[in-house]
Amino acid sequence: MGDVGAHPTPDTPRDRRAAWLLTLAGQHRHVLEQRLRLNAADVRLVWLLGQRPRTLREIADDLNLEQSTVNRQVNAAIAAHLLQRRRVPGRSAAVVEPTASGRRIFEKDMVEGLRAYDVALDELGADADAFLDLLDRFVAAYGDAVHAVQSP
């Protein structure tokens, strides 16, 4: 795996240290995703549609994506036998839902993917819950800061 540069030292500014650690975590997540069957778009679709079938328009609205993007992703997932279209009486548009195979693959990938988080959290022992609380606060504050930045 490619590294993001030299490990920060104690005198590295905290913003750079946070950026380095999050980039490294992203690289680790990418390695894991390469080992799983579903890509990120497939995971998002099977998870969303596992809650209830939806039309392409509903998927686009729920995921805040262009309908053309959703159409391309759904068609690819249908070709891979992860999703299927179904007509529903009384509705003009077909709904999309996971296939039995798509659900099985999703569940297997989730177990595999979550196992890595569980192992890492176990490494923290009694500090795991405090870490998650801090991470939750950090992600919320980071999101607020990102959305507050004005475009040039």
Q: What's the structural domain count of the chain?
A: 1
- Say if 108 falls within a structural domain: yes
Q: Which residues form the domain of 107?
A: 14-148
- Say if 55 falls within a structural domain: yes
What pLDDT sits at residue 59? 97
The number of residues in the chain equals: 152
What pLDDT sits at residue 62? 97
CA atoms of 26 and 23, how far apart (whole Å): 5
- Say if 6 falls within a structural domain: no
Q: What is the pLDDT along the chain (152 residues), one digit of tens a residue?
A: 445 567 888 899 999 999 999 999 999 999 998 999 999 999 999 999 999 999 999 999 999 999 999 999 999 999 999 999 999 888 889 999 999 999 999 999 999 999 999 999 999 999 999 999 999 999 999 999 999 987 77
CA atoms of 72 and 94, how far apart (whole Å): 16
What pLDDT sits at residue 25? 94
- Say if 9 falls within a structural domain: no
- Say if 85 falls within a structural domain: yes
- Say if 32 falls within a structural domain: yes
| Residue 100, domain CATH | 1.10.10.10
Q: Is 32 exposed, middle or buried (0-12, 13-18, 19+ CB in 10 A)?
A: middle
- Say if 3 falls within a structural domain: no
- Say if 2 falls within a structural domain: no
What pLDDT sits at residue 5? 63
